[in-house]
Amino acid sequence: MDAEVGGKFIPSEEFVLQKHAAFFDRNHDGVVYPWETFQGFRAIGCGIALSTVAAIFINIGLSGSTRPGKFPNPLFPIEIKNIHLGKHGSDSGSYDTEGRFVPEKFEEMFRKHAHTYPDALTSDELNELLKANRVPKDFAGWIGALSEWKILYLIAKDENGLLYKDKVRAVYDGTLFEQMEKEHSASKKNV
């Protein structure tokens, strides 16, 4: 499970969805507020508009489900230890209900939908993946999946419009954002 060391929240190694979300916990207290989500998106090089929309959408969408039984909070905090409770339908199944990574489901995405290149998705193949994963009448899940995947495609595709398997894997295990932050920080120093 997760732990707290020296007042800092440490995400679980087993429940990688926590590691994915913990990047946005800029002060490492186990809670992600909209301004931290905004700061996280800016840290990986996203513009102000995308960072703002993402912070609002993500925090409003996940706050209530990650804070079960608690009175609604107008600051829309997300509790990382409960991030698995924010898992929506119409997804790839690459996280199980507890937030653990499911390698078989991850590989299945590329086996079924990566037609042009076995280790990358084009924009059309990504749309096919989203359509194939839709659960009937799960409108919230459709919106959640569409938003997540389109943002990932926007920030992680290469110059040829390919979203490579290693980038997708890195977003699932929580390392992509850290890598992107280092790259963005280094590029700012070189300017």
Cα separation, 62 vs 176, whole angstroms: 21
Any bridge partners for residue 9, and if so which? 4
* pLDDT mean across residues, the chain: 93
* pLDDT band (50, 70, 90) for residue 187: confident
What are the pLDDT digits (tens) for 8-63? 888 877 789 999 999 999 999 999 999 999 999 999 999 999 999 999 999 999 99
> How do residues 127-162 score in pLDDT, each as one tens digit?
999 999 999 999 999 999 999 999 999 999 999 999
Residue 105: partners with Cβ closer than 8 Å, 6 or more residues away: 92, 93, 94
Q: Helices 123-133 and 139-156: crossing angle, nearest 10°?
A: 160
pLDDT surpassing 90 at residue 171: yes
The answer as to CATH 1.10.238 being correct for domain 92-186 is yes
pLDDT tens digits, 108-119: 999 999 999 999
Contact predicate 73/67, CB 8 Å: yes
Dist. CA 75–CA 63, nearest whole Å: 9
The pLDDT tens digits of the residues spanning 71-107 come to 889 999 999 999 999 999 989 999 999 999 999 999 9
pLDDT higher than threshold 60 for residue 188: yes
Cα 131 versus chain centre, distance: 19
In this structure, what DSSP letter does residue 95 have?
B
What pLDDT, on the 0 to 100 scale, is given for residue 5?
62
- φ, ψ for residue 9 (rounded to 5)? -75, 130
* Residue 67 to residue 2: CA distance in whole angstroms: 16
Contact 149, 165 (CB under 8 A): no
Position 191: which residue type? V
Please report the DSSP string for 116-149 in residue order: SBTTEE-HHHHHHHHHHHPPTT-HHHHHHHHHHH
Q: CB under 8 Å to 88, separation ≥6 — which residues? A: 138, 140, 141, 144, 145
Q: Is 164 helix (H, G, I), strand (E, B) or coil?
A: strand
The pLDDT confidence band at residue 2, using thresholds 50, 70 and 90, is low
5 or 164, greater pLDDT:
164
